[in-house]
Amino acid sequence: MKNNLLKIFTKGLFIENPVFILMLGLCSVLAVSVSVINALGMTLAFTFVIVLSELTISLIRNWIPKTLRIPIFIVIIASFVTILQFLLQAYLPALNKSLGIFIPLIVVNCIIIGRIESFASKRPVVESILDGLGISLGYGIAIVLIAVVREILGSGSILGIQLFGSSFQPALMFILPPGAFLVIGIEIGALNAFMKKYNKKVCSR
């Protein structure tokens, strides 16, 4: 039982990593992985929305008519996103400013609706919360890994701290979408290579 719960949590990290394996919601990944601080902020916002949405939908899953499920999912996700935006405007205006348009766009993030459709609408509450947390952590790890590379190469800084002297000319391409695709592609490749090696080791044992 405990093992099962752990499995639900950890599958979001690798086996079903929303960015590197499922490759869902890449649009917002491109946009927020420009800097590490944005990636961390987005992870927090994303966690808030996905955990609360999965929790709510799992609670009411027996009262959702099948034909109405998508509109109801959207209403619930959109409400949490709007609540999040009010809270950010009131208490963390700096984060709200730096994430800007990407907060409202969490509504249409397909990772969230995907997890709700395939998981939270069928499973009990505790499992759904763990699923939300695992997926958020996997999402966070992925976008921070992408953001680290992009910020160092594209802005010459990490967490806003300049790493090189003022004569350093950063590669502008890495903060533009093409650079993001390159970084995502290379990181997915590296992860696949690692998984292959790891799986071989496991099998040969």
Partner 1 sequence: MKTNPTKQIVKLGIILSIYCIVAALALSVTYSVTLPKIQEQQRLSTERSMKSVYPNASSFSVVTNENNDELFCSIEVESGVLIDSLYMANDSNSSLIGFVVKASSQGYGGLIMFVYGINPDKTIEAVSIIEQTETPGLGANVYKSSFLDQFSKKNVTDSFIVKQDVTPITASTITSKALTNGIKKSVDFLLEHHQEMTDEK
In angstroms, give the least distance from the CB of 15 to partner 1: 31
Please choose, out of 13-21, 71-79, 107-115, 185-193, the segment that lies near partner 1 by the rule CB under 8 A: 71-79
Q: Which of 40, 43, 112, 100 lies closest to 76, judged by CA?
A: 112
The reply on whether position 91 binds partner 1 by CB under 8 A is yes
Distance CA 22, CA 36 (A): 22
Contact with partner 1 (CB under 8 A): which of 72, 110, 148, 191?
Answer: 72
The reply on whether position 83 binds partner 1 by CB under 8 A is yes
The reply on whether position 165 binds partner 1 by CB under 8 A is no
In angstroms, give the least distance from the CB of 91 to partner 1: 7
The DSSP secondary structure of 90-114, one letter per residue, reads HH-HHHHHHHGGGTGGGGG-HHHHH
CA distances from 77 to 52, 111, 152 (A): 9, 12, 34
Phi/psi of residue 162, nearest 5 degrees = -65, 130
Radius of gyration of the chain (CA): 18
| 25 DSSP 8-state letter | S
The reply on whether position 178 binds partner 1 by CB under 8 A is no
The reply on whether position 1 binds partner 1 by CB under 8 A is no
The reply on whether position 200 binds partner 1 by CB under 8 A is no
The reply on whether position 172 binds partner 1 by CB under 8 A is yes
In angstroms, give the least distance from the CB of 24 to partner 1: 21
The reply on whether position 5 binds partner 1 by CB under 8 A is no
Contact 106, 28 (CB under 8 A): yes
Sorted by sequence, the CB contacts under 8 Å of residue 89 that are 6+ apart come out as: 96
In angstroms, give the least distance from the CB of 73 to partner 1: 10
Contact positions vs partner 1 (CB under 8 A): 31-32, 34-35, 38, 65, 67-68, 71-72, 75-76, 78-79, 82-83, 86-87, 89-91, 93, 97-98, 100-101, 154-155, 172, 175-176
